[in-house]
Structure 1
Amino acid sequence: MGNFRDLHTLDEVSNFIHKHQLAFLYITQPNCSVCHGLLPQVQALMEKYPKIALAKVDAVEVQAIAGEFSIFTAPVLLLFIDGKEYLREARIVQMDFLKKNWIASIIM
């Protein structure tokens, strides 16, 4: 699927999750250096898994996302399978762990 699609409302987020069997959300904030530094690494990893639909949400723009998904920090990486949250990583994401345990265990 390639690049992350920007979502701008909670309805768009909900529709995205329920439309795709495998849906990945990257929740970010504008002034978050960790968010901006991690995004290219996650995007490079996700290119290996074209069946996963990718979306990005600005938690400042879509403030209701914090309550909807119990988000207390950024970035937050969420993977949904058939509309249900399956995996979550937040703030300090270990890319090696993500590669070995997160995505590979589901897709392979």
Structure 2
Amino acid sequence: MKPFQELTSMDEIDSFITSNQLAFLFLSRPNCSVCVSLLPQIKTVMETYPSVKTAYINTEVIPEVAGRFSIFTVPVLILFFERKEYLREARIVPIAPFNEKINRIVQGVESEIND
């Protein structure tokens, strides 16, 4: 499985988003059963997209992340393209539709780069 970089501060989050053209965040907390079951499935999906850099954020370690990204529940999955939010999913995330959305975005970005 593709390892997710664990971010532990707002500065690390900002740096991660800024330094990666496609940056994906998985926001979670340890005692969330939905989060625990969803993360391995998302990791499997993200293995298909090596151009997308992935990170994990424990909202208990960085509570201010909730205000920064307007998060009211977990898990939350956010994909940034060139520092702009392109996709957000929360709570129950059906894997097949999520994969299709990521695929469309990544293909669009890669076709822009190759043009």
TM, length-normalised to structure 2: 0.90
Which 5+ residue runs of structure 1 have no aligned equivalent? none
The CA RMSD over aligned residues, in Å, is: 0.6
Shift of 1:22: 0.2
Aligned structure 1 segments of 4 or more residues deviating by more than 2 angstroms? none
- Quick check: 1:5 aligned with 2:5? yes
Distance in 1 of aligned mates of 2:67 and 2:106: 29
Q: Which residue number corresponds to residue 106 of structure 1?
A: 105
Of all paired residues, the percent bearing the same amino acid is: 47
Structure 2 CA distance, aligned partners of 1:55 and 1:99? Answer: 17
CA apart distance, 1:80: 0.2
User: Cα distance, 1:30 vs. partner?
Assistant: 1.1
Structure 2 gaps of 5+ residues are 108-115
Task: Kindly name which structure, 1 or 2, has the bigger radius of gyration based on alpha carbons.
Answer: 2
1:15 aligned counterpart, secondary structure: helix
Q: Under a length normalisation based on structure 1, what TM-score does the superposition of the two structures give? A: 0.96
Cα distance in 1, alignment partners of residues 14 and 106 from structure 2: 22
